[in-house]
Chains A and B, each alone.
Chain A
């Protein structure tokens, strides 16, 4: 595919000193520019490891990872560095990824200056202000520290920090699972809008199929480190081919009276 940005071919990841604990057993995937791929699975399915392998945060024991036509499978940290800006990550708990002693201003401007994306401090400030407004936060947020913000605000800062780098690819790992329903919808809409505006390729990892359906173009269902099913959201949700996908869908309690659901 001409517009493929990121692809993985038959990747395997094993942990442990002897590399004997296999977490991924040969996974293939492609994500096109501007496309959002949902990756869903239960605990132990390998979804987080897959995300980390795509970003080269864990080493793959087999297979290849290609980013924008480049084989990055064995690139060293120095060779990876220029690509790091283009591949950003949003975490489940932004608190753990935001330096608690830095103001939001420092958190946003620091990487811009480090990667030479801003000509000077003033330019970095300008870009930080712009992105903080874009994610729907007041400019005064720049003066705050992470612990002064609510969970939803922190997650917006996490998003701002990722997109201010003008990436091509964003990995979002369980980014709304800690949020209340009312905040969740706002954060999901924001990620959807930014993805479209910036033409981002997004890997959206979640355990929640309803969240995936709301924001993704395609979905991949992982089970025990293997792909159980993969396809456009429309077909996977309406006519799942795998029994496992069907079981996952049926286990979701919906806010409607569904007599007999519990015993089914």
Chain B
């Protein structure tokens, strides 16, 4: 039984005169599963995660498809019904821990917002829960961090606070949108470990958006590769990393330099592969027109 089932999701950008930005995307997420959404810029990975979070910009229009979450189609709910789910059953770990936190408010009020406003907890209870959460994300001095303003914390600490906030509502689904892109590599590893540990402990499903195939390999159970808003390859992570089927996935794996393979020459993705991908997109668009 899927927690989230996206079926044939298509969307266009009205800003660019109706350019397709999602083309018939389907994906399933089981409870407690971590799925990687991977692709280069413009692939559609953040459009999918925004659709799930109800955060699509006005310029993006869904033309087809559904996103069934716990039996309800997120795409046909009223904004009032959607607000009950997002920020509570579905939460976000954002990319940039600096801009995601309000610089003028202490961590305590930001961390406990949801608990007070959506769960109706008293300030005392919310504070107690906030301290527990900070301990859970291995923050050593939770009392001090509660009183701190965001700028007083390091990037890694801020990201821990945001992970605590994302799990505070005991969500069924967490969308992690490039949560380690802005971090140093040693901090990235700690944050990846923490997300995986929190997700396992709470049985939460995670959509992990990233452009880094190395990160996917280490943290995701399954992976979906996108190009031009279309699913190019999907399957179990280990299998795809060892035996990629689509030439684009093969080329991406070959293109990334690796410190452990000095003998491997730099191999940019050949233009012929992009030509093939563009042909796949065009053929999808022709089918859409034919069947309406």
Contact = CB atoms under 8 A, between A and B. Distances in A.
A251 B257 contact: no
A185 B217 contact: no
Interface in A205-249: 207-215, 233-234, 237, 247-249
Interface string B25-48: 000000000000000110000000
B214 A186 contact: no
A210 B257 contact: yes
A258 interface: yes
A197 interface: no
Interface string B209-223: 001111111110000
Interface of A: 42-43, 151, 180-186, 188-189, 192, 207-215, 233-234, 237, 247-249, 251-258, 261-263
21 contacts: A42-B187, A43-B155, A180-B41, A181-B255, A181-B269, A189-B266, A189-B268, A208-B185, A209-B259, A247-B186, A249-B259, A253-B188, A253-B192, A253-B218, A255-B213, A255-B214, A255-B216, A257-B238, A257-B242, A261-B218, A262-B218
Contact of B267 (A185, A192, A247, A248): A185
Interface of B: 40-41, 155, 184-189, 192-193, 196, 211-219, 237-238, 241-242, 251-253, 255-260, 262, 266-269, 274
A43 B241 contact: no
Nearest to B252: A181
B267 A253 contact: no
Contacts of A188: 257, 266
Given A237-B259, A257-B217, A262-B219, A252 B185 contact: yes
A191 to B, nearest CB: 10
A40 B218 CA distance: 23
Given A182-B40, A182-B251, A253-B218, 5 more contacts: A42-B187, A43-B155, A182-B255, A248-B186, A255-B217
Contacts of B267: 185
B157 to A, nearest CB: 14
Contacts of B213: 181, 255
